[in-house]
């Protein structure tokens, strides 16, 4: 697995899982910056942490991001609102590596109330060891995705 610079964040529902993942990721040699929550607060909100991670990835400061909320759904929806971020909810290893290889996914979202630590580690290992495959078909699809994001769908060819 390549060493990767990571931003990670979680709300109260993902806090416990995040707290277990950060030291594990660091033990593998990854640079991990924890964007919060830094304490358990049952009144915090997932959009705050998902947006912080997504914006950190968008800025180029981090190669990839990880967001953990209760189901992972809200984190995924929020992160995908940030231009240039391709976030996906992953609860299996195939989706975690295929999302990077085919779609250049750069943020993975996990459900802290859905999966446990061991599966999370397997998913993150798959996510972090994957690279985009620059085959013409994957690049063509990524270009179309970016055109949709920029509001240029009608102007793209194909």
pLDDT tens sequence across 131-145: 999 999 999 999 999
Which domains does the chain show, CATH number per domain? 5-133 (3.40.1400.10)
Does residue 70 surpass a pLDDT of 60?
Answer: yes
Positions of E strands within the chain: 5-10, 31-34, 64-69, 87-89, 107-111
Give the residue numbers marked as catalytic: 69, 102
Per the prediction, the chain carries an average pLDDT of 94
Residue 156: predicted pLDDT: 45
Q: Residue 124 in contact with residue 92, Cβ under 8 Å?
A: no
Residue 117: predicted pLDDT: 98
How far is 9 from 50, CA to CA, in rounded Å?
A: 7
Calculate what percentage of the chain has a pLDDT beyond 90. Answer: 90
Question: Closest by alpha carbon to 106, among 59, 156, 153?
Answer: 59
Q: With a threshold of 0.85, does the pTM exceed it?
A: yes
pLDDT tier, 152 (very low <50, low <70, confident <90, very high otherwise): confident
Does residue 65 surpass a pLDDT of 90?
Answer: yes
pLDDT tens sequence across 19-45: 999 999 999 999 999 999 999 999 999
């Amino acid at each position: 697995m390549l060493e990767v610079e990571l931003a990670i964040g979680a709300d109260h529902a993902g806090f416990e899982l995040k707290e277990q993942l950060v030291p594990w990721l660091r033990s593998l040699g990854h640079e991990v910056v924890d964007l919060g929550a830094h304490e358990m607060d049952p009144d915090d909100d997932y959009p705050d942490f998902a947006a912080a991670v997504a914006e950190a990835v968008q800025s180029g400061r981090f190669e990839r991001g990880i967001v953990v909320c209760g189901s992972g759904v809200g984190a995924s929806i929020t992160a995908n609102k940030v231009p240039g971020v391709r976030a996906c909810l992953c609860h299996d290893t195939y989706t975690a590596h295929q999302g990077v290889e085919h779609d250049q996914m750069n943020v993975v979202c996990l459900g802290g109330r859905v999966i446990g630590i061991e599966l999370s580690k397997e998913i993150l290992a798959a996510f972090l060891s994957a690279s985009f495959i620059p085959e013409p078909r994957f690049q063509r699809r990524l270009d179309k995705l970016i055109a949709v994001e920029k509001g240029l769908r009608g102007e793209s060819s194909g």
